[in-house]
Amino acid sequence: MSAIQAIDLVRRFGDVEAVRGVSLQVAEGEIYGFLGPNGAGKSTIVRILTTLLQPTSGSGSVLGHDVVREPTTVRRLIGVALQEAGLDPKQTGRELLTLQGKLYGLKGRILADQITEVTELVGLTDAMDRRIQTYSGGMKRRLDLASALLHRPRVLFLDEPTTGLDPLSRALIWDRIRELRERFGATIFLTTQYLEEADELADRVAIIDHGQIVRQGTPEALKAEVGADVIDVAVEERETGAARAAITELQASGELPAGELRGTREGYTLFVPDGPENLAVLIRGLDKAGVRFGAVSVSRPTLDDVFLAATGGRMAAADQDGQGEDQAHEPEPAGAGRRAQ
Amino acid sequence: MTAAAPDAGRVPGRGSGEPQTLAAPAGLISDVVAITGRAIRGILREPELFIFALIIPVFFFVVQIGALGDVAEQQLGISNYATFQLPISILFAAASTSGGNALVLDIAGGYWDKLSLTPAHRSSLVIGNLFGEMFAVLLYSLVLLLFGFVIGVRFAENTLVGSVGLIALTLLFGIGFAAVSIAVALATGSIRATQSTFIIFFPLLFLTPSALPRDLMTGWFEKAVSLNPMTYVVEAARSFLFGFDGAVIAKGFLAAALFSALTFALTALAFRRRVRMG
């Protein structure tokens, strides 16, 4: 039995189709990374799988329980930390966790022990009797994570758990996520717009763009699918035509192998085997053709290259493009922070 | 795109013998008690809101007595105008409750989602807020009663029974009014719209015998007042102070109950819509 399953999920908001036929399966104990730019549909899918939102069509289940027909059973099995940590600022951390525990049917010694355990896990023991309005953003996220863990859920949904956090807080959350899997064997469904987060944490990654899963697999397998090294060359806008012509000619003459060539905002990305060797060929060729170019680099493929290969655009660029649309149909505020390349 | 079956299989960690989740059904009563406790805590944590909610009713109370007290007592035969005005002040305060405000802040801030993700009965999220508002109405009523006693309000008959009856009627009316505000919060999720529900209280309470007894009114105003169910709530509230008239009190409770039933129905519709919308 899958921990999480979605079959052909569709969700429309008026005329906008935010989720367009998404199917996925997550095994028990797996960390499943759901990677995509703002507005791609990540949060909408999380809201459907956590019973907050009904799909327009299709179905979803958690540990075999349908999210529409058995929502209360599903809610007992899952813990959820949403992207925006919705916490009551007037309560103290302890009051919030106590209320949360009671709503999960915990009481007495078990509730007290669980509060102690989860607050130690997220490192908030000293702040538990302070009102939440005095917490920093990182502390709120950690409290939200603690509240999601209180009833020992078998499946944990973390919707962009580190968006907007400083690097230190982000590293702390990463450690806790790894620990959760090691200690409790929890299944973790992790949405993120950070490439390195998916790469670091996830056993498998699904890349979502415009409401559809465009690639799915282990990070290594996805990067291997690109099948080549990546050469990025920055070119001034007025030189793009000349650069493309020069590169195409190098490929036609056999000096460069016939790898995929994609235009980017900065210039061109070329997918070729033996990157370092072909880098020299490319530089010589561009120079000979009189093309003025800027920075040139060669690297192993990243998940961003997988995203580029699958969608024809970079994550960061898609993120910027998607922000206006995002406001229109999906409750995913624009994220902050550096994105990995 | 349809995904392939997972290729990762089982990952080290939870085995089949691992413990299940600790979550268990708590029951509706337990859920309501927990949410009510949180609502009351929120009210007690913001005494400034409590004080502001009392300022306008006290202001109207004092101004009305100052402006009309002597005339009413000397020429209209009202024995004690402060006593005559006290129920208006208390009902005014009851309509100042902020149940919808607390809820709409939860919705806007995401805490509603957080609570909705628990296995608690979702209706408890609304019922608990309503009970919290009843607590606020009780506090308002007690403070205004005490203030009334200080400035000369007197019950014609048993003070304890009269006070309990007046507060009970106020709670029934107040919870109905809080339900309006909660319905608007659930339907719109808008802080501004929810705060604006206070406006509907003005025609409801001032198209009543708020300043004068109904038998002194004439023309369209008298007709409008007679059609307003709140008129009967006001008259019943006064009856607790000026001697118990069973028929008047019964009509008042009936009017308050009908008002609350109507507003609860609106709240239930808004609640269903909110749950469906997600």
Model ipTM? 0.82
CB pairs A-B closer than 8 Å = 171
Residues of B in contact with A53 (CB under 8 A): 277-278
Task: Decide if A4 contacts A154 (C-beta within 8 A).
Answer: no
A237: Cβ–Cβ under 8 A, 6 or more apart, which residues?
none
A78 forms beta bridges with A155
CATH 3.40.50.300 occupies which residues in chain A?
Answer: 4-223
CB contact under 8 A, B119 and A85: no
Query: Could you say which residues of chain A have pLDDT below 70?
Result: 314-341
pLDDT at A319: 55
CB contact under 8 A, A99 and B1: no
pLDDT at B18: 45
A105: Cβ–Cβ under 8 A, 6 or more apart, which residues?
A151, B23, B24, B25, B26, B30, B119
Of B11, B13, B26, the CB nearest to A103: B26
Task: Decide if A8 contacts A31 (C-beta within 8 A).
Answer: no
Residues of A in contact with B119 (CB under 8 A): 72-73, 75-76, 103-105
pLDDT at A158: 93
**Considering only CA atoms, which of A58, A244, A45 is closest in space to residue A160?**
A45
Q: With H, G, I as helix, E, B as strand and everything else as coil, classify residue B117.
A: coil
Interface test with A, best of B7, B10, B11 (most A CBs within 10 A): B11
Alpha-carbon dihedral sign for residues A247, A252, A257, A259:
positive
Of A30, A75, A203, the CB nearest to B119: A75
CATH topology of domain A228-300: Alpha-Beta Plaits (3.30.70)
pLDDT at A274: 81
Interface contact B81, partner A, CB < 8 A = no
CATH number corresponding to A4-223: 3.40.50.300
Task: Decide if A99 contacts B38 (C-beta within 8 A).
Answer: yes
Chain B's closest residue to A217, CA to CA, is B7
Residues of B in contact with A185 (CB under 8 A): 11-15, 18
CATH 3.30.70.260 occupies which residues in chain A?
Answer: 228-300
Q: Looking at this protein, which amino acid is placed at residue A44?
A: T
Tokens 């023309």 locate to B219
Of A23, A52, A85, the CB nearest to B117: A52
Per-residue pLDDT of chain B (278 residues), as tens digits, is: 334 333 333 333 444 444 478 888 888 999 999 999 999 998 888 888 888 888 888 998 999 888 888 888 888 878 889 999 999 999 988 887 767 888 999 999 899 999 999 999 989 999 999 999 999 999 999 999 999 999 989 998 889 999 999 999 999 999 998 999 999 999 999 988 988 887 877 788 888 888 888 888 888 999 999 999 999 999 999 999 998 899 999 999 999 999 999 999 999 999 988 887 76
Task: Decide if A322 contacts A39 (C-beta within 8 A).
Answer: yes
Query: Min CA distance, A160 vs chain B (Å)?
Result: 15
CB contact under 8 A, A106 and B22: yes
Of B6, B12, B19, the CB nearest to A204: B6
Segments making up each domain of chain B, as ranges: 28-277
Question: What span, in angstroms and rounded, lies between the C-alpha atoms of B184 and B181?
Answer: 5
